[in-house]
Amino acid sequence: MGAACLVTGAENAAGARIERKDALRELAYGVLVCEFMAGAGKPMAHIPTPDFAKAQTRFIDVLSDQLAGRDSDQRWVELTGVLMQSEAGREWLRERAKEHAEFHADEAAYS
């Protein structure tokens, strides 16, 4: 009976640790979402990146990593769609189009 109580006690302690970790994860998740969204307003600002070599990384670098991930094509399609929904977004894309044309115009004309 004594051994069973030890096992039950250990199981209860392990379960309590898991519950604490789950609660901390949920809290950290909320903080990380808030910090990410705040970083969107200040793209050069550093946001928390726990488990990276650096504990904080610039927002634009975190977003760049996400846009280069395994589903990067889909994320770029989504971002382009969002940009097209506002005049400011379309103007930003227009500027990228001008840069593209400036870079390739000579090759297009002379090749």
Confidence of residue 101 (pLDDT cuts 50, 70, 90): very high
Is 1's pLDDT higher than 60? Answer: no
Q: Distance (Å, rounded) from C-alpha 36 to C-alpha 38?
A: 5
Is 13's pLDDT higher than 70? Answer: yes
Q: Which domain holds residue 46?
A: 2-110
The contacts of residue 48 (CB under 8 Å, 6+ apart) are 31, 32, 35, 55, 56
pLDDT tens for each residue of 37-88: 999 999 999 999 988 778 999 999 999 999 998 899 999 999 999 999 999 9
Average pLDDT over residues 14-43: 92
Q: Output the pTM of the full model.
A: 0.70
Residue identified by tokens 């910090």 is 35
Q: Residue 57 has what pLDDT?
A: 94
Domains of the chain: total? 1
Share of the chain above pLDDT 70, in %: 92
Is 2's pLDDT higher than 70? Answer: no
